[in-house]
A and B are shown apart, each in its own frame.
Chain A
Amino acid sequence: MAAVDPFSVELRVFERHRREWSRSHRGEYVVIQGDVIAEGFFDSYAEAFRAGLRKFGARHEFLVKQVWPTEPVYFVS
C-alpha cells in the first residue's frame, strides 16, 4: 500500500483558499484538520497551535500554516 503524504488533505484545503486568504489574512496562521478549518486566524504560530490543540485535541495531527501568496523558501547556509 502506498504511503499517504502527511497533511496531503489539509494542504489541498489550504491551496483551495490560499488566494482568498492571502488577500485578507496575509502572514497570519490558519489551522486545518482533514477538511475542517479551525475558526479564526492567528497572529503567531504558538497561538495557532494552541487553538488547534483545543479544537482537535492531542490524539490527531493538525496542520498549522502561515498564509502567504506563494510558499516561502527558507535558506540555510
Chain B
Amino acid sequence: MARAEIEWDPSNPFDPGPCISVVVMNSPEFIEAGRAVGLEFPAPHPVQALLDTGAAVTVISKTFARFCKLRQTSAGTELRVLGSKYLAGEHAGAISFPGTELRTFDLIRIVSADFEKEPNYACLIGRDIMRHWDIRFDGRSKRVTIID
C-alpha cells in the first residue's frame, strides 16, 4: 500500500489548494513505437498538479501538452467551468508521482485546456484518477494523505 502526504492550508488565501508533483508524458508503448519510426520525445519534466475533486477528468494545460508532445486522440471535448464552456483536446498519456510510491497511470485519457493566468499548477488531477485512491484531509494538521 503506497502513501503520500501533502500540505494544504485552506485558511491561507494564497495557498492554491492541495498540490502534488506529477510527471506527464506519453505512454511507454507509444514512446517505444514512436522512437522506432524516428519520433523524438522530451525528457520528463515534473510540474505541480492540483487535487481537484470538482474536476470530472484530469486536465493539463495546452501549453504543457504541446511541450510534452502528448499524442492527441480527440478534439472538441466540452468542459464546463463555472458555467463557461471550453473546447478541449484529448490525449493519451501517462502520469506518475515522483518522490512518492503512488502507482503510475501508464495509459489514460488526459484532457488539455488553456490555463489562463494560473502560476501555481499546470495540471488538475480529476476524479478519474482520484477514484483509485483513499484521500483524507486533516484540517487541524493541514495535511492531505493519499493512500493508494
Contact = CB atoms under 8 A, between A and B. Distances in A.
A2 interface: no
B1 interface: no
Interface in B106-142: 106-109, 111, 124, 126
B56 A75 contact: yes
Interface residues of chain B: helix, strand, loop or mixed (majority): strand
Contact of A64 (B27, B88, B92): B92
Contacts of A73: 78-80
Contacts of B108: 45-46
B72 interface: yes
Contacts of B90: 64
B54 A75 contact: yes
Interface string A26-65: 0000000000000000000110011011000111011111
A72 B34 CA distance: 31
A5 B72 CA distance: 13
A24 interface: no
B6 interface: no
Given A76-B81, A76-B124, A62 B73 contact: yes
Contacts of B124: 76
Given A6-B75, A75-B79, A76-B57, 16 more contacts: A7-B75, A49-B73, A50-B107, A57-B33, A58-B39, A58-B71, A59-B37, A61-B72, A61-B73, A62-B73, A63-B74, A64-B74, A74-B77, A76-B54, A76-B55, A76-B80
